Every structure is written in structure tokens, then in C-alpha cells.
Structure 1
Amino acid sequence: MVDLKKLSLMGLLAVNISLGAAAYNTVSAQDSDPLRGAPENWFNLDKEKGGVYGIGTEAAYNEILKGKKSTKVVVAVIDSGIDIDHEDLKDIIWTNEKEIAGNGKDDDNNGYIDDVHGWNFIGGANGENVSEDNLEVTREFARLNAKYGDKTEEEISKADKKEFEYYQQVKESYDKGYQKSLQSLMQYSAIQQEFLRSKKLMEAYFGVEEVPLDSLSDFSSPDENVMLMAELFKELKAQGVGEEDLQEAVDYFTSQVKYSYNTDFNSREVIGDDYANLKEKGYGNNDVIGPGAEHGTHVAGIIGAVRNNNLGIKGVADNVEIMVLRAVPDGDERDKDIANAIRYAADNGARVINMSFGKAFSPDKEAVDEAVKYAIGKGVLFVHAAGNDNKNTDKESNFPSANYLKGGYAKNWIEVGALNWKDDETMPATFSNYAKKRVDIFAPGVDIYSTVPGSKYEAYNGTSMASPVVAGAAAVLMSYYPSMSAADVKKVLIKSAIDMKKKEVYLPGYKRDLAQGKEPEKVKFGELSNSGGIVNLYNAVKYADKRYK
């Protein structure tokens, strides 16, 4: 769950900063930047009337679905937690009718006590909650380093060769990530200190609390160090970087060093489960909000924020219930928790599962695969965010994935890349992962305005935002055309997508090149996913209306 905010210093410094609760390793599935010119409600608009490649939600309701009956569809959101009291969400939160709230009993005998609105798999029985966690690469490094850390390759037995090679890959990734975070923390701490010094100096010189950018050109000093400070202040201000941004950067990298790459940190002490027992369930608690619910709340709003209450925003689906499954901390999710969350969703009536999270390593992928197979057997459709590392996931790992560890793949699975709202070379979001085989389709994921805790609203970026756009669209099809199976829904969404295969666009990661004055690599949009298309609900409903009445 992240996306990436770019800070550039003097045209030379380019560092990716992930903000938010759910992380794709160095990637958050979101970014709390304010709107940067995107049309209001753009993800629900269409090219013909709105001038953007939204998914045509409004046109679908106004021109095809108006007056039609629909059935309630449950969408499970596996995420960081959701503010179930949000003004725009409280009426669409799923309730377990078989459970009596607050009686301390497992009324429906499903292994979870008082699971009224879902379950929190990263909480303790005493009510405590996990907020931060380390990355999977850190956990794997700690596990394997205890076994191989003091051994040379010559000392490794033939039986351990393969695992030792894996350890070396993990160690390289861990060392690189830890050093980068440590260096970035030192770098941004230094920049922050210099910025605050220069800010104070500029404010004193001009006699105002907020120095206008155009006034800085008039500043001069014979002191070379003072002029360097002034240039720093001017450059950062020109980029829109302020005191709050730098503090967020320092906080982020502090958390990376303190939690993400800390091999001694163990969040499971809070939960108290037998972590090695992958079949264990019933651990956790029923606090589905938890700390850090920003990401999950934003995702939930995109899927189904109430459309007719004259509040906030309009979600994609108009007859949906959101099942809350908290399993994603500020750090990497654990395979055991994800597998249990998937099974819970399938057992309690979810038709769609949205998963806006991911990581580079998955030591217990087989447990997740088995849960995915179980849910697909119950007719569930998976919608997963492709990730925000601007990498080709045909070549680099990103989990969870539709490809099973032991061969084969999950057919009822849609992998979603993120789309910018601009109809030019920057159409694919600069942060979005892509793949000719393993990414299915693209959907709006930049400047997406949605719900956040406290009945508030913010704009985030990320494939984490693109995934719930598709999940919402899937829910609409299931709601109005209940005879459609999960496989049908995937087929229709792919088949009805707007074909952009031949459009020339920048390869994701292009902002890095542009910041350095380089011309980014151009590719055909069709190289970024197997469909080469953009999800369009209007087209999908039009298609379904002819075939699934």
C-alpha cells in the first residue's frame, strides 16, 4: 500500500519517500499530497464528458443502470483498518448478523469472538494493537543470518546450498535497504536543520513569518555560508517543500531504521500467537479500526462511499458492504495473517477481496496460495494493487501474486496498475509497477480524493487507489448482474477496457529522468499490462447488460 513522493534538492537530490500505513517495502500504497489539478471525482468520470480516462461510473448509472434493481455485494478490504464511524462509510460497513456484539462469546462458532464488522489479525487479546512492523526482508534476514551468518560458502552442505543462495539474496537486499534508510535519515535530518536555520534567517531579514518566493531574489549577503543557506531555502520553497514535508521525511526514515530494518523488533509479542503455526486462527481482536487506519479508510471510500448522501465523495459501487479485515501494519504484512484474512472473507460471504499491499519476499507463500484457492472455490474475485516501485514484476518479485508457488495461477485475480489523470506521455503513474504478463489492467490511481479517519477527506496516490477502483467496478457488475461469476466479471472488465495498446507513453519511473534533465524511455502502453487497457465501468455494464440479464 504507497505511493511515492519525490523531493529534489538543487536538481541533484532525488529520494523516494513513502508515506502512509501500508508499504510495498520502500513503497507506501499512498501519498497524502493534496490535489494537483485533477478534476473533481475524476476516477468516476469518462473521456467523452469529463475529459479524463476515469472509469465512466457516472455515465453507467445515469444511462444504463438507472431504475434497475441491484443486490447487496460484500467486498472484503484487507488493509490497515477502517474508520467504521466515518460519515461517508458508516452505513455501508458489513455486520456479522450471527454475532451478538459485546457479549464476549463466539456466537457463530467461527473461532472469532465478537467479530461484528470483521477482524483484526494484528491485535492482541488484551486489546493492544500492532502499529509498526519490520519488513519481510528483515525478518528473513534475521532468521537465516542466525543459521548462515558466520559461515562461508565452502562450509555449506549440499542440502543447504539452495537456501544459502537465497540467504545471500536476502542479505544483499537487506543491507542495501538498511544502508539507504540510514543514509537518508542522516541526509534529511541535516537538510531539515539547515532549512530551519535558513527559514529563521530569511524571516528575520524580511520581517515576516512567511517569506514570498519572489522576494528571495532580492536577498544578498557577503557571507558565502549564508548565501548557500538562502539558496537551499529558495530551492526547497520553489519545489513546494516546507517544514512539514521535511519532518515527514525524517519521521519516515526514523521509522525505517527503528522498525522496518530492525532485526530485534518483534511485533508478535503484542499478538501472542504461535507464529510458526500457520493453521492457527482465533488470535487477534475485534478492533477493526486500530491505529493508522488512513490507508484502509481511503481504500474503502473509493469502493463504496455512499453516493446519495450529499457528503464528501461518491464511491464506485452503490449497493455494497465493506467487510473490515485489519492485517497490514506500517511495515510488511505477514503471510499467516493474509491467509487467515482471505479465509475469513470467503467464509463470511465476501464476493470480492481488495488487497492494496505487497512485498518483495513471501516465505510462507504456499499458505497464502492455499487460502486463495479456497476462496476462489467459493466464487471470490481477488483485486490486487500491482505495487509502487516502478518495476517490471515479470522480472522482479512482488507478493502476493496470482502465480502459485507450486505451479499454475489464480484465474479469478486482477492485478492493477495505476493511471495518471493526464492524457499524455505521463498517463501511467510514474510510481506504478507494470508487466506484460503479470499486470492485467490499469485504473485511476493519481490524485484520488477519498475518505480518511475522522470524517475527513484527502487525495492519495498509488496502485493502492487503483485497485479499489477496479474492486468497486467488479462489485457493481455482481450487484446488477448477479448471475455473473467471478470469472465472468474479470473477463468482462478486461474485454471492455479502453484499448490503449498503441499509445506511446513514458515508462514508469520517468519522474526520476525528468528531474535529472533526461528524456525518459518511451514504450507502447500495451507493454505495461497484458490487456493494454484502462478499466471502464460504462463499457463493462454495457457489455454485461446484453449478456447477463
Structure 2
Amino acid sequence: MSDLPTHVYPMPVRPSELVLDQAAVEALARAIGADIRADLAAYDIQDVTAVRRMHGSLLTIALLTGDMAEASKQVAIVREMQEKASARHTSGRIPEAYIAASEGPAAEFDATLGGQLEVALASLPWDVVEDSLQGTKGYLEYVSEGMVVGDVETSLDPPAAEGGELSQLLAEDLLGAAYTLSVILPNRDVLHRAYASVVNANKGSRKPDIWAEREVVLDPADKLAPVTVAVWDSGVDFAIPALGRQAWVNTGEVPGNGIDDDGDGFVDDVNGVGWTLHMDYTPEVLFPITTLVEDPGQFQQYSKGLGDVQANIDSEEASELKRKLSSLPKEGYQPFIEGLGAYSNYAHGTHVAGISVAGNPAARLMAARITFDHRVIGDRPTIAMAYKEAAANVSTIDYFIARGVKVVNMSWGGNLAGIEAGLEQTGAPGTPEERRELARRIYDITYQALAEAMRDAPDILFVIAAGNSDNDVKFDEVYPSSIVLPNILVAGAVDQAGDETSFTSFGNSQVYANGFEVESYVPGGDRLPFSGTSMAAPQVTNLAAKLWALYPDLTVADVTRLIIEGADERSEGERSYRLMNARKTLALAAQEYSS
């Protein structure tokens, strides 16, 4: 995608004003549509997901400009290009019903819209589309004009004010907001009734959970070898007793004395190392959340509420979240979203850590903290910061090597497109082409340093989350999940029944694990369910650590092979993927290595 031309569009007014002006939206939509069609005609784009996104944009443009015949054509194209079973069934259902209602009598618009949508949804195989329909129902319960306009004002107004224009990447976000304002919100109640009717009719029917029967818990009475597991993430709350008991401890350090007692270059690295947002070393392996959020408990409840809404769970937290979001004024969008982001970042590493060591008393948990940015628009990406990040990453991997870490979980990533967008959003000087070139340089510095450092640690297995963008990581250039090395396992996410989630990225995933409503610890000790490939990867890490606990002489190649060979193959159309099966993998290991 980086080889396609850079298109820009003038912004005569603020995007948050333009998005409310139908004529201006239609003019922008037509300009973007012309560029997309020209690129599709001129370039042989091999990335199916990229082409599908382009046709998805053409569908949005057709709906915004009132070209219902073209919209119908694009619905069919996008649906045909879907690779996941759930997406093939659910793709384009709202646009189809909207097109039918728009072409019928105006007095019957609501009846046609709701009736056609409900019939279409009811005809879908519930066991395939359950999660998708529940998620859309939840979204329709809280989306509001304040959210949409607040998002545009926060993320698109600043770059437009700086340069007087927006790149295609950001301008298409503006069209997405316009679609929500003009198609979804005016018809939200009708759409919600259709989804609620089908979801509620199937409320007692849940997909089977295949994971409990695959789980293996190691017995402390067994002869187990200690195995050091590093969670390279947003930090770990070792004050939680279950995690504190399994903490890796650097006995050469005196906790909290501010001295590098063991002379390894890291002060007070008792349970691991940490890096601040600007990649300076810190001995704090858990971010001090109260420096950003006055009441983290409140945002924990909002986080739980969001998960409950998406899973169609009626709870106090879900009700409160819906009340909050549905009445959110546009000026309240940024503080709320950034607060929720800060809490989610804070909780992420502890949640991943709990999954990584569950059921393995031999695991010794080491933290390697990254400080993720919670802001809608963060600092401007720079070459200097890329080198600093690269140095911190190399230093972290060297730390793992020196301390005998066997397996590292990496549920995070960055991408080329995000860097380019960050340059534009922060008003980086230069033409769009110059920003793209700079983004490439920044990306390559981080990518190459990380890949080379991982290559030079052949005795460590790095387990990496594929990502949550439903994209091919090889084409979209995402690190670290696009890196291919013998000591890397990339994990995609499936749901409780083993079906691919709608969000999981792919292209380099060797194994899939459960990434749907996985329960684990959050800071403070409560347990919450989170979803994402971030939750799938540590289950693979967990299995690798159990293999080493039982058979400490295994090589990285042995562990990788056992995990992949023990996985069950699942086919979906022309695609296939492998579902992790801890029970089968450990049985295979016992057969091969038990004396």
C-alpha cells in the first residue's frame, strides 16, 4: 500500500464542521471516490484486504452521494471478498436494508429498513454470527452524535488546521464519521430493534466453549523446572498475591534503595525493567495510573461495561457505560476516551501476565514495561525517538538473554501507516510525499533493530500477538507480527468455539488461541474478561512455558514444533488455520520425551 500515490484534499473549514455539511461531504466523497477508482485501475494491488477496504470506501461514498445502484454493486463486491465466515454472512446487511428502504415509498422507510434487516439477520447461522451481531447491537446502544463529532474534532481538526488539507487516510475517516451521522444515527432505533430481536431470540443459545477441555494445569508436586517468562507489555501488578508469588526476583538488588546493587546498569530492577513514554529507564514495572486518571476504579467499571455491552451481558456497568456514552457531549469525548485508553493500557500487561503463568507453578514472571501512549494525538514521531526506542528494545532483549528468559510475550505493535498518520496529525513539515518517506525511515529503524535483536536471541521464543485490525500484517507492514524468524510464533485469535474473530489480523499467524472474553487479573486483583489477540498470544506463551517446565532441555525449535503439531487444523473456505491444543501438545511431548 505504501507504493500507491498520496492523495490530499483541501479542508476549507474544520472537519468537525464539514462533516455536518451534506453538500461538502458529497463533494469530498466524490473526489476520494475518483482517486480510489483511478488507483484500482492503474495498480495491481495484491493485498486482498487493502482492495476490500477500498471497495468498502466506495460503498460508503455511494451511500453518502445517494447512488443506490452503485452501493448495491459495492455491497456484493465487499461481501464476496470477505475471507472470514462471520464477515461473509454479516457484511453489508445494514447498507442493503438502507438501500431497499431508500428505493421504496418514503412513508414505509422505517418499516422496510427494520423489516428487511431483521429478516436478513434472522436467516444467518447464529453459531457463526453470534459475536458479530451482539457487538453491533451493543454499538447501536451507545453511539451518539457527541461521540462522532467529538472524535472528528479531536483527531482531524488539528491536522486540518495545521496544513489546510487532509490525506486520503484521514479524509476517509471523515467519510466514515459522515456515514455514521447520516445513515446510522438517524435510524439507530430501527436498526437496534432489528439486531435486538435476533440477538434476544437466540439469547439462550451460546456457542460451545472448546477451551476448558484442552486446558492443562501442572501439579506443584510434579518434578518441574523453573522457567522464566517475560511479559513485555505495559507492566505487571506484583502486589496481586497470585502474581507476586510467581515473580522473578533479582536477588542481587536491594529493593527501592536507588542503587544499581548488582552493577548490571539497571537501578532497582527487582522484578524486571521498565521504560517511560519517551524511552527513559524506570524501575517502576507498573505505570503510576493516578498521574493520569484521578479515579482508575471508575474507568475499570467503564472498561467492564464496554466488554459487557459487546457481549450482550446486562450489568450495572453496561447500563452506566451506555448512559455515559449516549449522552456524551462532543467536548467530553477527548477526556473520556483518553481516560479509558489510559486505564486500558495500565491494565493490559497485568491481564496478559495472568494468562501467561496460569496453571504453571514453575513459571517465574518477569516484567518488561513499555509505556503506551493514551492520547488521541500523541507526540510527533521523530528519527531521534526511533533510535531511542530501538536502543531500549535492544537493551530489553539483552536483559532477557542475560537472565535466562525462555519465552517472551509481546502483545503490542506498531505500523507504517500509523507513523505516517502521526506525522500528519502533529503537523510535521513537508509535503505528503516527504512525510511518507520520513515515516518509512522511522519505521525501518525500529523494525530492523527489533528484528536483528530477536534474531540474535535464538534460545528465546518470542510469542507475538497478530494484531486486531483484520488485516494482512505482511502487506500493511506491522511490527513485530510481520517479522519472520525461527524463534517467533505469531498468534491469531479465535472465539470460544474456535472460529476466527472478526478483528484478528493474519498473514503470519502460525497458531490461533482463544481471544474472546478471556478472564484474567487487572491491577488491584479483580478479574475481568478482555478480548483481542493480546489475550490469545499469552495462552501460547503459557503452553510454551509448561513445556519447558516439564522438559527443560527442549530447544526453541522443539517447543515451536510441538505447539504447531499439537494444534488442530480448522478449514474455512480456501483458508485454514491451526487451533492451539495444550492437552494434545503436552501428550505429544510426553510421548516423545518422557523416559
The percentage of aligned residue pairs carrying the same residue is 27
Q: Is this contact kept in 2: 1:294–1:452, CA < 8 A?
A: yes
The C-alpha deviation readout for 1:455-484, integer Å capped at 9, x for no partner, is 111110010000001000100001001121
Residue type matched to 1:416 in 2? A
Q: 2:209 aligns with which of 49, 52, 57?
A: 52
Alignment partner of 1:428 is 2:510:
no
Work out the CA distance in 1 between the residues paired with 2:563 and 2:223: 21
Would you say 1:539 and 2:594 are equivalent positions? no
Cα distance change of structure 1 residues 339 and 130 upon mapping to structure 2, 3 Å threshold? farther
Q: Which has the higher contact order (CA 8 A, sep 6+)?
A: 1
Unpaired segments of 5 or more residues in structure 1? 19-24, 27-35, 38-49, 133-236, 261-288, 305-314, 404-408, 505-522, 527-531
**1:346 positional shift:** 1.9
Distance change (3 Å), C-alpha of 1:9 and 1:410 = same
Q: Equivalents in 2 of 1:98, 1:79: separation in Å?
A: 24
For residues 319-348 of structure 1, give each alpha carbon's deviation from its aligned partner in whole angstroms, at most 9, with x where no partner exists.
201101111413599444333222212221
Partner of residue 227, structure 2: 73
Please report how far the alpha carbon of residue 93 of structure 1 lies from its aligned counterpart in structure 2 after TM superposition: 1.2
Amino acid at match of 1:91: R
The CA distance in 1 between the partners of 2:282 and 2:593, in whole Å, is 48
The partner residue of 1:375 within 443, 457, 467 is: 457
Tell me the CA shift for residue 252 of structure 1.
Answer: 6.9
Match of 1:338 among 390, 393, 400: 393
Find the aligned partners of 1:249 and 1:422 in 2 and give their Cα distance: 39
Cα pair distance change 1:66/1:428, threshold 3 Å: same
Q: Which has the higher helix share?
A: 2
What are the within-5 Å matches in structure 2 for residues 139-154 of structure 1?
A: none
Identify if the C-alpha distance between structure 1 residues 242 and 401 changes in structure 2 by more than 3 Å, giving closer, same or farther: same
Q: 2 CA distance for matches of 1:252 and 1:130?
A: 24
Corresponding position of 1:384: 464
Residue in structure 2 matched with residue 326 of structure 1 by the alignment: 369
Distance (whole Å) between structure 2 residues aligned to residue 126 and residue 494 of structure 1: 37
> Which SS does the other structure have where 2:373 is aligned?
coil
Alignment of 1:39-438 (within 5 A): 51-54=208-211, 56=213, 58=215, 60-61=216-217, 68-122=222-276, 241-243=322-324, 253=334, 292-304=345-357, 315-330=358-373, 334-361=389-416, 362-364=443-445, 365-376=447-458, 379-401=459-481, 403=483, 409-422=484-497, 427-435=499-507, 438=508
On the 8 A contact 1:81/1:325 being kept in 2, the answer is yes
Could you tell me how far apart the structure 2 residues matched to 1:246 and 1:96 are?
50
Which structure 1 residue ranges, 4+ long, deviate > 6 Å from structure 2?
A: 10-18, 125-132, 237-240, 248-252, 255-258
| Counterparts in 2 of 1:249 and 1:359: CA distance versus 1, 3 Å | farther
Change (3 A) 1:257 1:96: closer
CA deviation string 1:249-288 (max 9, x = no partner): 9877558899x9xxxxxxxxxxxxxxxxxxxxxxxxxxxx
CA RMSD, 1 decimal: 4.3
TM-aligned CA deviation for residue 363 of structure 1: 3.5
Q: Output the CA distance in 2 between the equivalents of 1:461 and 1:410.
A: 27
Change (3 A) 1:105 1:53: same
Taking a change above 3 Å as real, the CA distance of residues 290 and 400 of structure 1, as seen in their structure-2 partners, is: same
* Partner of residue 495 from structure 1, selected from 565, 571, 580: 565
CA separation in 2, counterparts of 1:247 and 1:319? 47
Distance in 2, Cα, partners of 1:12 & 1:291 = 20
Match of residue 546 from structure 2: 476
CA pair 456-244 structure 1, distance change in 2 beyond 3 A: farther
Conserved 8 A contact 1:393-1:433: yes
What's the TM-score once normalised by structure 2's chain length? 0.50
Q: Is the 8 A contact 1:54 1:444 kept in 2?
A: yes
**1:109-161 superposed Cα distances (whole Å, 9 cap, x missing partner):** 211011111111117679899889xxxxxxxxxxxxxxxxxxxxxxxxxxxxx
1:541 shift after superposition: 0.4
CA 66–316 in structure 1, closer or farther in 2 if over 3 Å, else same: closer
Amino acid at match of 2:501: A
Letter in 2 for 1:356: S
What's the secondary structure of 1:543's corresponding residue? helix
- 1:253/1:85 CA distance change after superposition, 3 Å: same
Partners of 1:421 and 1:351 lie apart in 2 by: 28
Report the count of equivalent residues: 338
| Residue identity matched to 2:238 | I
User: Secondary structure at 1:76's aligned position in 2?
Assistant: strand
Alpha-carbon contact 1:77-1:322 (below 8 Å) kept: yes
Instruction: Decide whether aligned partners of structure 1 residues 246 and 72 sit closer, same or farther in structure 2, where only a CA change above 3 A counts.
Output: farther
Q: Give the gaps of 5 or more residues in structure 2.
A: 1-131, 152-169, 174-198, 201-206, 290-317, 379-385, 417-442
